[in-house]
């Protein structure tokens, strides 16, 4: 069982970092940190700071689901997402999407 868990974790981390080992996975980390900051504050807002490889940032909120919060982010479906982060707050889901 432990071996299976390690294989699963190793496989999942390769999905996050990408096959080429580039730094684009950091975009997901940045987006996640921004979503966590919003959730901690209980406010849907642009947090500021680094945007990694992104040029645009969208934020969204939903009481329905994480996917719904993502779909409510600015530019969703209009620009190429390079980083997506979602965090659960006490009153709903907070999302940050970084776009190229």
27 occurs within a structural domain:
yes
Instruction: Compute the Cα dihedral for 29, 66, 47, 39 and give only its sign.
Output: negative
pLDDT of residue 19: 40
Q: Which domain holds residue 30?
A: 22-99
On whether residue 5 sits in a domain, the answer given is no
Q: Which long-range contacts link 47-51 to residues 24+ away (Cβ below 8 Å)?
A: 47/96, 51/98
3 located within any domain:
no
As a whole number of angstroms, the distance between CA 40 and CA 89 comes to 7
Report the number of distinct structural domains present in the chain.
Answer: 1
> What is residue 21's predicted lDDT score, i.e. its pLDDT?
47
Is 12 inside any structural domain? no
Residue 15 lies in a domain: no
Residue 31, domain member (yes or no)? yes
Structural domain includes residue 8: no
Per-residue pLDDT in tens (0 to 9) along the chain, 100 residues? 444 333 333 333 333 434 444 555 699 999 999 999 999 999 999 999 999 999 999 999 999 999 999 999 999 999 999 999 999 999 999 999 999 9
In a domain, 10, yes or no: no
Is 58 within 8 Å of 75 (Cβ atoms)?
yes
pTM of the model: 0.75
pLDDT value, residue 23? 53
């Amino acid at each position: 069982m432990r071996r299976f868990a390690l294989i699963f974790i190793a496989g999942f981390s390769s999905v996050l970092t990408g096959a080429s080992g580039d730094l684009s996975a950091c975009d997901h980390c940045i987006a996640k940190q921004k979503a966590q900051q919003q959730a901690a504050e209980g406010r849907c807002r642009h947090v500021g700071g680094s945007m990694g490889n992104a040029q645009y940032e969208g934020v969204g909120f939903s009481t329905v689901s994480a996917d719904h919060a993502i779909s409510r982010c600015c530019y969703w479906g209009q620009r190429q997402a390079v980083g997506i982060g979602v965090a659960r707050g006490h009153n709903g889901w907070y999302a940050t999407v970084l776009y190229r």
